[in-house]
Structure 1
Amino acid sequence: MLRLVSLQLMATVVAGVIAALIGGAPAMFSAVIGGICCVVPNGLMAFRLYVNSKTPGGANPFSFFIWEFIKIALTLALLGATALLYRDLNWLALMAGFIVALKSYIILLFRQ
């Protein structure tokens, strides 16, 4: 899980650099914020599932579904807060950064 979250973070940085080259600083910040809106909830869920797996009973499906719901709610809350608080938001860059971070796991599938 740590590999996936770190890969998502690296993909977010790459998306931010590409957005900066194409659209300037507001596009870069929008792309990075979009990626962070994906990375933070995934990292939190991965950490909690790791902690739950180390308990004597191990991880159970109920905790997975609860944390999946929390991850989705936190993602929507972060995207909503970004839309409300960031005045120079570039929506295309935000969605591009989010999608790049979300789909970066495909790189791990082709790695081995």
Structure 2
Amino acid sequence: MEWRKRQPRLSVWRIVAVQAVVGVLAALLALLLTGRAQWAWSVGYGALSVVVPAALFARAMARRRTSAGAAVAGLFGWELVKIVVTVAMLAAAPRLVPGLSWLALLAGMVVTMKAYWVALLARPGVRRTD
């Protein structure tokens, strides 16, 4: 109980928002560093292929469940949906992103996924125990 008082709840929507912002910044940085729009689009699409499934999962998990079993089933079911949506977005990438760079797309995905940890570590109000 004491631990819960020191650990404020973190909104899953805040994490998704941080991921989206990091993805946009990564795409802009790719454009500035390379001067190639197709790299920026590739990084941006990579970020989008992380953010869209995460937002879908967050929306589904925000619903209240009637039992613990339903919550676990929902968790596994929506995690599967998240994976399928990600794979479908990656499969569609060559048709949707002109001049696709798979390396840039992968970089966008990795940077966006790592933003999850930054959001967790930077949450306000966390108190340490001494």
Matched, 1:94 2:120: no
Matched, 1:67 2:73: no
Corresponding position of 1:39:
51
How many pairs are equivalent?
109
Equivalent of 1:4 in 11, 15, 24: 15
Corresponding position of 1:16:
27
Instruction: Give the deviation of 1:74 after TM superposition.
Output: 0.5
The whole-number CA distance in structure 1 between the counterparts of 2:121 and 2:81 is 29
Asked which structure has the greater CA Rg, the reply is 2
Matched, 1:50 2:52: no
Q: TM-score, normalised by structure 2?
A: 0.78
Structure 1 regions of 5+ residues with no counterpart?
none
Structure 2 regions of 5+ residues with no counterpart?
1-11, 124-130
Instruction: After the TM superposition, list the runs of 4 or more consecutive aligned residues in structure 1 that deviate by more than 2 angstroms.
Output: 83-87
* Partner SS state of residue 104, structure 1: helix
Higher helix proportion (structure 1 or 2): 1
- Cα root mean square deviation, aligned: 1.4
* Partner SS state of residue 12, structure 1: helix
